Amino acid sequence: MTETASRNTPLAARDLAHVWHPCTQMREHPAQLPLIPIVRGDGAWLVDADGKHYLDGISSWWSNLFGHANPRIAAAIAEQAARLNHVMLAGFTHEPALQLAEELARIAPSGLTRVSYASDGASAVEIALKMSFHFWRNAGQPQRTRFIALANAYHGETLGALAVSDLPLYREVYGPLLFDPIVAPSPDWLDAEPGEGHEDVARRRLGDMRALLERHAQATCAVIVEPLVQCSGGMRMHAPAYLTGLRALCDEFDVHLIADEIAVGFGRTGTLFACEQAAITPDFLCLSKGLTGGALPLSAVLSTDTVYQAFLGDYAANTAFLHSHTFSGNPIACAAALASLSIFRDEPVLERNRALAAHLAMRLESLRGHPHVANLRQTGWIAAFDLVMDKTARSAWPGDERRGLRFYRHALDQGVLLRPLGDTVYFLPPYCIGEADIDFMVDVALAAVEAAT
């Protein structure tokens, strides 16, 4: 299609006149960074205004589970929208919110019986942080004001969530506005010393955490962690043993454990929740992204009855959790979530994913020997590798060379959406993808590695 006949071009021009996009240096549009108007979704594929198809290899920022425009979720949304769009959740309730809370309490690690709703992932993290702080205050320990977060963590970009995140790209500029967490080393298995296995790294990092808790437990509200995979931090992975040990340490030192499963929840790591692999129940579980199958913004914080009870008291004592969002528990979003969870109930989603994840792993082996590919890794449905300048020395490319961006553009040209985190390429497609599409995605990735290096 010629430039003049393109339907994409006028849409992109209209967009750039007004829309300020997330996570984007806007000056790079459109010369260095194409802006693609998407008009519809079809399973694992997105379709632009010119009819070009893109395989969504990253589930649109890890949100989509069962395909774009999934008919079952779309029907639930339409039905709910025709009945009740919204009612505030203070003083009112409705079937979708209460049914979703019942369902989440049923499927989550046992003991997480209380559900607070918000809209995005970051707002769920804000709730968990504030709730933990307020719990200790209600418990007569107002000196607990600090949080322990992991190096390389990402928990979102509102101020509280950003404060417990450790990625300079997002955090540095706003540093003067943020509270200071206590930062513990990441249990990332890529940091293994010679002779160490994944569990050895976990044990060593638990030793570091113990040392921090010995010093700071009395001032600490909670430890916050992304279970099994630090996603935005470059798909860095750790052994379940770290989580088991961390739960034990939090119990021993009497601090809360916040599990941020916003990215890894709903099957991404091979189990419905990553915490299951460590057989632990956190004090707070943050969920979003895949909660609605990726169709609508909704987040939830699950907590225990012990936490809940600490907030009951006389109105004047100000022990209640007064945090509120207008669209908490929006009925349409809850209906989408219920439809998505019903697919987990009715279909062998996790079993099917295991087989497809094994196929992805098998196909990715062809990349292992590439001279500019290092650290090929996978946890369940999440696979990643790093583009490196020198494989033996594991040296990175100079940042200004933007190798990841070159990879992205090449893959996009070929009809696959794979958006690296810096120079880390990762695969996290919707669950409706088939083996043939996985093969196509990996073939394009291989060609994109060649083009980028």
Ligand X SMILES: Cc1ncc(COP(=O)(O)O)c(C=O)c1O
| 416 scored as a contact of ligand X (CB under 6 A) | no
Nearest to 302 by CA among 285, 290, 288: 285
Q: Does 293 interact with ligand X (rule: CB under 6 A)? A: no
Contact between 231 and ligand X (CB under 6 A)?
Answer: yes
188 near ligand X, rule: CB under 6 A? no
Residues numbered 106-135 forming contacts with ligand X, rule: CB under 6 A: 120-122, 125
When the beta carbons of 264 and 449 are compared against ligand X, the nearer one is: 264
Q: Which stretch binds ligand X (CB under 6 A): 70-78, 149-157, 266-274, 316-324?
A: 149-157
Listed ranges 28-36, 65-73, 104-112, 148-156: which one lies at the site for ligand X (CB under 6 A): 148-156
Q: 3-class DSSP state for residue 373?
A: strand
Q: Is 290 a residue that touches ligand X (CB under 6 A)?
A: no
How many residues in the shown chain lie near ligand X by CB under 6 A? Answer: 14
Is residue 262 a contact residue for ligand X (CB under 6 A)? yes
CB of 408 closer than 8 Å to CB of 419: yes
Closer to ligand X by Cβ: residue 156 or 245: 156
Characterize the bridge pairing of strands 53-56 and 416-417: parallel
User: Considering only CA atoms, which of 411, 443, 332, 394 is closest in space to residue 77?
Assistant: 332
* C-alpha span between 243 and 259 (Å, rounded): 9
Helix (H) and strand (E) counts for the chain?
A: 14, 16
- Where helices occur in 177-314 by DSSP H, the ranges are 198-216, 240-253, 305-309
Residue 281 or 299: which CB sits closer to ligand X? Answer: 299
- Nearest distance from C-beta of residue 288 to ligand X, angstroms: 5
Q: Is 334 in the site for ligand X (CB under 6 A)?
A: no
| Nearest Cα to Cα of residue 202 among 239, 232, 160 | 239
Among 255, 310, 302, 330, residue whose Cα is nearest residue 128: 302
* Cβ nearer to ligand X, comparing 153 with 213: 153
Member of 57, 67, 109, 156 binding ligand X (CB under 6 A): 156
Q: Which of the residues 200 through 229 are near ligand X (CB under 6 A)?
A: 226
Least spacing, CB of residue 362 vs ligand X, in Å: 27
64 binds ligand X (CB under 6 A): no
Taking the alpha carbons of 72, 352, 60, 64 in that order, is the dihedral positive or negative? Answer: positive
Residue 288 engages ligand X in binding (rule: CB under 6 A): yes
Q: Which of 66, 135, 147, 154 binds ligand X (CB under 6 A)?
A: 154
CB closer to ligand X, 124 vs 217: 124
d(CA 387, CA 182): 31
CB-nearest residue to ligand X = 121
Q: Using CA of residue 62, residue 403, residue 53, residue 368, what is the dihedral sign?
A: negative
- The CA dihedral of 342, 347, 351, 355, to the nearest 10 degrees, is -120
Which spans of this chain sit near ligand X (rule: CB under 6 A)? 120-122, 125, 154-156, 226, 231-232, 260, 262-263, 288
